[in-house]
Amino acid sequence: MIYVSECKSPLGKITLASDGENLIGLWIEVQKYYFSNLKQEIIKKDDLEIFDKTKKWLDRYFNKEKPQISELKLAPKGNEFRQNVWKILKEIPYGETTTYGEIAKQLAKITKKEKMSAQAVGGAVGHNPISIIIPCHRVVGKNGSLTGYAGGIDKKVRLLEIEGVDMSKFFIPKTGTAI
């Protein structure tokens, strides 16, 4: 059984999902891969403790109060590769960015491989089921391209602006991706 609740944000409606104890999903309205990892029956239930905590966390985030990821019980569903990528995402500090290539290098070290594909990392980042909290918006292309945000590039820009990131070094690609 999967429980869902909705809340409003400066980015639009947000849908939260829980297994009853942990947060397993957070999607911005019209985000790609919405509920893609959830195959169980879904029931609306607003009174779960994890939903209350998450909504308060999001309010603080949008008020630029820098809440910690560790304050919430997260349990995103995904294979080992994706879990490793999402773990690295959680380590990107508030207000900072990294590249898909840098994450690939970190993963290569963790898995003791010579190298790892930045494009494979991009796929895992794009399928992050707990956006905003697991900060996939902090990942950019190596050339400064603001590419690859399932919630939309406009939302990625807004999240980085909320965090006080200097946006002058980034650009929105016209077509394609530059991972």
* Alpha-carbon separation of residue 53 from 38, 67, 69, 99 (angstroms): 21, 11, 11, 30
| Residue among 136, 139, 140, 150 flagged as catalytic | 136
Supply 47's token pair: 């009174």
136 annotated active-site: yes
Supply 154's token pair: 């406009």
Cα separation of 165 and 48, whole Å? Answer: 33
Helix residue spans in the chain (DSSP H): 49-62, 80-90, 100-111, 118-126, 153-162
Which residues are marked as active site?
Answer: 136
